[in-house]
Amino acid sequence: MSTKFHRSQYEPSMIEITLGALLSVLLGVVLAAVWLVLKPVETVREIPDEPVPGKVYYVEGRAGSTSAREWMAKWQRFAAGGSVTLDEGDLNTAYRAKAAEAEQAKKDEPKAEPGMITPGQLNFRISDGQLQIGAPVELSVIGFQKKLQVFAQGGFERSGDHFVYAPDKFYVGSLRVEKIPVVGGLIVDRLLAAMHPSEDVAAAWNRLGDVKLEGSQLQLVMP
């Protein structure tokens, strides 16, 4: 018995063709994003006059010569309700001191299991009226571990009755993620959670009348 071959029975439908095309595009986008995340960021002292197209540069903020007594005086003035002007040296000195205090306080506690995103030491830079917050981050996903440079750049905006950091650029490796739903906000929250603000400083922050970034300075203005 012969069976008539109907080619139309074996041709993919328009829905199958469309679905296959969409999956191919999605796979390409995912692979491109992974490649950019894993692509190294070049750490430099300043952005080159002629940047290499496609290369992402990261400039660390200076530790500065701010003494513990100087930044403590500014922090106490701020916590007491006074306006202060800070530079990146103040921020880096204060963060390192607070991080050391937090680490000392936790030394007798059981060591917590690392999460999917584990930030290292934060670094602050203020330039051209923008605050940059960066950190090396350990990414751990289903047994895969990779150290990446993560950094955000931007300013502050009022959210409800207080000011929040609102970066307009956010890099994970060489991939900009600020417009990707959830991802950018999740990593910013993890970075800011590592700042260890004291209760009095956090309370003073909520009373701020204005936050200004001018040149290389951060101005915290009380009402």
pTM for this prediction: 0.77
Torsion angle defined by CA atoms of residues 191, 192, 198 and 199, in that order, rounded to the nearest 10 degrees: -140
- The answer to which of 15-29, 64-78, 207-221 has the lowest mean pLDDT is 15-29
Share of the chain above pLDDT 70, in %: 65
- Measured CA to CA, the distance from residue 157 to residue 124 in angstroms comes to 18
Task: Please report, for residues 23, 35, 65, 90, 169, the alpha-carbon distance to residue 38 in angstroms, rounded to integers and kept in the order given.
Answer: 23, 5, 34, 32, 18
| Residue 145 confidence class, pLDDT cut points 50, 70, 90 | confident
| Residue 27 confidence class, pLDDT cut points 50, 70, 90 | very low
Look up residue 62 and give its amino acid. Answer: R
Look up residue 38 and give its amino acid. Answer: L
What is residue 35's predicted lDDT score, i.e. its pLDDT? 45
Q: Is the pLDDT of residue 76 over 70?
A: yes
Q: What is the mean pLDDT of the chain?
A: 77
- Measured CA to CA, the distance from residue 215 to residue 135 in angstroms comes to 22
Q: Which residues contact 34 (CB under 8 A, 6 or more apart)?
A: none
Tell me the pLDDT tens digit for each residue of 44-62: 888 888 988 888 899 999 8
In angstroms and rounded to an integer, the radius of gyration of the C-alpha atoms of the chain is: 24
Tell me the pLDDT tens digit for each residue of 111-124: 655 556 677 788 99
What is residue 196's predicted lDDT score, i.e. its pLDDT? 63
Buried b (16+ CB within 10 A) or exposed e, 150-182: bbbbbbbeeeeeebebebeebbbbbbebbeeee
Share of the chain above pLDDT 90, in %: 19
Q: Is the pLDDT of residue 132 over 90?
A: yes
